[in-house]
A and B are shown apart, each in its own frame.
Chain A
Amino acid sequence: MSNTVAATSVQETPYTTANPGVVTELSRIDRSMRGAAIFFLISSVLWLLIGSALAIIAALKAHTPDFLGAYETLTFGRVRSAHLNAMVFGWSNNAIFAVGLWMMARLCRNEVRHHGMLYIAGALWNIATTIGIAGILLGHSTSIEWLEMPKNVTPVLALSYALIGAWGILAFRFRRGEHVYVSQWYILAALFWFPWLYTIAQMMIVWFPARGTVQAITNWWFAHNVLGLWFTPMALAAAYYFIPKVLGKPIHSYYLSVLGFWSLALFYNWAGVHHLIGGPIPVWLISAGIVASVMMVIPVIVTAINHHMTVVGSFGAVWRSPTLRFIVFGAISYTAVSLIGSAMALRSVNVVTHFTHFTVGHAHHGVYAFFTMIMFGSIYFMMPRLLYREWPSATLIRVHFWCCALGIGIMVVGLHVGGWIQGMMMNNPDIAFIDTVIATVPWLYSRSVSGLLLTIGHIAFALNFFWMIFPRRSASAAGPTLLDGKEVSA
């Protein structure tokens, strides 16, 4: 009997926005998330600005060491970590909380209840992040990559995360509708993976340190999986949600979605060891990491085909819609960065790129060109639904897009080229080390230029964002804010 119900409700009376009941339901779900989502988004945009300022300081210091050289608080080793933590725990996680929970609520077709708890948890999260970053700047950094925040704020982070993650899982528990969509698999998995990763890493490195280089393995298992099992699934969930949503087409293939999800879950887990190639750990661990990294080609190709085949024929709409322009940029970057990453794991390539700016460029390629761009796109879709208003300025969206696209492009190319040169020189013992340093300086300048561009983009985004939240004149429904004025949903 229940099968019949499922079949009819999905196929004969489709869950479609042509049905007024469905629109009403979505409206109610959006409203139930409204306050919490806006709260997380405001936090994330503020952190984005703070993180950008820290990034600029770090980038300038990297080629002009005397810049602000007298201030211990702003020494490179600290300001760089503060930048990373502001972006990871401030910007990215707040954006994930907003976008991920909102998508989850919509896909589960159920309102978010007791969202007051989300404010408390979110406030705790942001207070702990603030204290943590201040701690790094004041000299309490742990110098463990991606876990720099001083030990005492981590339980607060874990607790507030537990509350927020629980809300996502509860939404899933009380879902309506029979079908579980691919985005839900990714969000559910990520909500579960992240706290496990974080807790184990804290326990085994900070609170009860394991002996010797087991710490290093734990560190890279964690740090790589934050990208692979937290940012990536959330961004892929968003791409899987928004591409078919905006285009009004189904995703190309359910089978590819399944293959992509499980191969990612299986292989990404093991890939982190490639950060220790040549390092003081047994060779079998390194080989396992290399194989897993190369295996990542499978989910990447699968996802690329799935997204591409969905988008194909609708490139005009992709270009017009702010949401899709950012998200498709991110999806293409995902393919590129992952394939480059698989290549970098090979010993013959890694011997050059390891320990150089190539890796730094690669990290930004992944976290920015892929993850952050997709988050921008998601926010462009969410905000009008949450506020019943349109984005005030298409020009600012265009400025945002072009500054970010150009900026990250310059950074990735600059650091890849500079890093490759650095690596080749470093592996030639007849070249004095200082010459490898001097050779990278022009490329580090290119990073500063890209950092300025990105910051301009972020400021444009923030202006538009706060203008939308606090409109000076009443924003009427003048139609969606599109990038060339033709009619398509934003």
Chain B
Amino acid sequence: MSEDNPKAKHQPHPDSRESLEKAGYQDKQIQDVHAQLMREKDEPTEGFSPVPLFTLFLFAIIVFWGGVYFTKYSGDFRWDVYDPHQRGESAVAEAPAFDPIARGSRVYRNRCAQCHQAEGQGVAGVYPPLVGTEWVTGSDERLIKILLHGLEGEIVVRGNTYNGAMPAFGPGPGGLNIGDRDIGAVATFIRQAWGNNAEAISEERVFEVREAIGNRGPWDGSELLGLHPLSK
């Protein structure tokens, strides 16, 4: 019933562009110019194959999973729940046995290695080395004081002069508030790593030194050496 075709309904005027184009359509030259169009296949249409059953089955499973997952990890839709496993009272985990070397190694990597470098070699002229120096392996009290309160002024380590500012890691004002146990652990670590070999420093020893001094600003290099001279 091509009469019903809206395109066929109105016969174009013989001089209209449309009818001229239709006439030209037969022309060889126009066909060449429009070669790209002439070879074109139909505009896309749709087939009507049914949806495969297995996909519907698969989707049902995914939707079910989604519902379960969302319910389980919704944190009761609270704004202040950030752990998907948080449900009521969280079980208090048994604290693992404290290993000062392992702990000290981690504290060192997070807090100290940026300056003193991974192997304690330091950066020549800027950050003193921790390997093979009495500053580390000598007096435990001197080392604890440096860690707790920081150190400024000129010091000589393994023949090089340094004039930096070691920050205070103890609890005092401006300090970074690392606990006695971690101070002891990291001190023990640097005294025993990379070929250093000195006795460990306990949490109690750190506490003792800290209590004896109280809060104070950073030590000056010469002041500290006056209290605890190097052996040479």
Chain A residues packing against B (C-beta within 8 Å): 4-5, 8-9, 12-18, 20-24, 26-28, 30, 106-107, 176, 181-183, 240-241, 243-257, 259, 280, 282-284, 286-288, 290-291, 294-295, 297-298, 301-302, 305, 309, 347, 384-385, 388, 390, 429-430, 432, 434, 476-477, 479-480, 489-490
Shortest A400–chain B CB gap in Å is 20
B212 contacts the other chain (CB 8 A): no
B37-65 interface (Cβ within 8 A of A) = 37-52, 55, 58-59, 62-63, 65
CB within 8 Å for A181 and B33 given contacts A287-B84, A347-B84? no
Asked if A257 and B33 make an inter-chain contact with CB atoms under 8 angstroms apart, the answer reads no
Contact in complex: B44, A253 (CB < 8 Å): no
23 interchain pairs, CB-CB under 8 A: A13-B5, A17-B41, A23-B25, A26-B43, A176-B6, A240-B44, A245-B44, A250-B44, A250-B45, A251-B45, A251-B47, A283-B75, A283-B81, A287-B75, A288-B70, A294-B66, A297-B62, A301-B58, A429-B106, A432-B109, A489-B40, A489-B41, A490-B36
Closest CB in chain B relative to A110 CB, distance in Å: 13
Residues in B neighbouring A9, C-beta threshold 8 A: 4-7
0/1 interface trace, chain B 91-112, chain A, CB 8 Å (1 if under): 0000000000000011001000
Q: Is the CB of B66 within 8 A of A291?
A: yes
A15 x B43 contact (CB < 8 A): yes
Task: Give the residue name and chain of the B residue nearest to A106 (CB).
Answer: B43
Q: Name the one of B4, B7, B62, B78 contacting A294, with C-beta atoms under 8 angstroms.
A: B62
B216 at the interface (CB under 8 A from A): no
Complex alpha-carbon distance, A389 and B167, angstroms:
73
Nearest-neighbour CB distance to chain A for B46, whole angstroms, equals 4
Contacts of A30 in B (CB 8 A): 37
Q: Which residue of B lies closest to A389 (CB)?
A: B36
- With beta carbons under 8 angstroms apart, the residue of A27, A248, A255, A280 that contacts B34 is A27
Interface centre among B32, B41, B70, B106, by most A CB within 10 Å? B41
| Nearest CB in chain A: distance from B48 CB, A | 5
Please judge, given known A-B contacts A295-B63, A297-B62, A432-B113, whether A20 and B22 are in contact too, CB under 8 Å: yes
Known contacts: A283-B75, A294-B65. The answer to whether A17 contacts B51 by CB under 8 A is no
Do A252 and B62 contact each other (CB < 8 Å), given the known contacts A9-B4, A27-B21, A241-B44? no
Q: Which 3 residue pairs are nearest across A and B when measured between Cβ atoms?
A: A248-B41, A283-B75, A244-B44
Asked if A17 contacts B62 (CB within 8 A), the reply is no
B46 — which chain A residues lie within 8 A by C-beta? 181-182, 250-251, 253-254, 257
Nearest A residue to B77, CB-CB = A284
The closest CB in chain A to the CB of B32 belongs to A477
Q: Which of B33, B66, B78, B109 contacts A477 (CB 8 A)?
A: B33
CB-based nearest A residue for B84:
A283
Residues from chain B with Cβ under 8 Å of A15 in the complex: 42-43
Instruction: Tell whether A5 pairs with B4 under 8 Å between CB atoms, given A20-B22, A255-B48, A432-B109.
Output: yes
Q: Which residue of the partner chain A has the closest CB to B20?
A: A24
A107's closest neighbor in chain B, by CB?
B43
Contact of B118 (CB < 8 Å), options: A23, A28, A247, A432: A432
Q: Are A8 and B47 in contact (CB under 8 A)?
A: no
> B residues touching A (Cβ–Cβ < 8 Å)?
1-2, 4-8, 18, 21-22, 25, 32-52, 55, 58-59, 62-63, 65-66, 69-70, 73-84, 86, 105-106, 109, 113, 118
Contact A284 B75, CB 8 Å, known A24-B22, A245-B41, A302-B55: yes
Contact at B25–A24, with CB atoms within 8 Å? yes
What's the nearest-Cβ distance from chain B to residue A287, in Å?
4
CB-CB nearest in chain B for A387? B36
- Closest residue of A by beta carbon distance from B30: A27
A254 contacts B39, C-beta separation under 8 Å: no
Query: What separation, in Å, do the CA atoms of A392 and B8 have in the docked complex?
Result: 39
Separation in Å of the B143 CB from the closest CB of chain A? 23
A342 CB, nearest partner CB in chain B, Å: 10
* Given A283-B73, A287-B84, residue A476 in contact with residue B65 (CB < 8 A): no
Question: A24 with B43: in contact, given A253-B50, A282-B75 (CB under 8 Å)?
Answer: no
* Residues of B with C-beta under 8 A to A430: 105-106
A27 to B24 Cα, complex, angstroms: 13
A282 and B70 form a contact (CB under 8 A): no
A26→B37 contact, CB < 8 A: yes
CA distance A46 to B77 in the complex (A): 48
Q: Known contacts A17-B40, A248-B41, A252-B47; is A282 also within 8 Å of B81 by CB?
A: yes
Closest residue of chain B to A342 (Cβ to Cβ) is B62
Judging by beta carbons under 8 Å apart, are A183 and B106 in contact?
no
Distance (whole angstroms) from the CB of A2 to the closest CB of chain B: 10
**CB within 8 A of A253: which of B8, B51, B86, B109?**
B51
> Given known contacts A9-B4, A27-B21, A283-B73, is B48 in contact with A14 (CB within 8 Å)?
no
Contacts of A256 in B (CB 8 A): 49, 51
By beta carbon, the residue of chain A nearest B18 is: A24
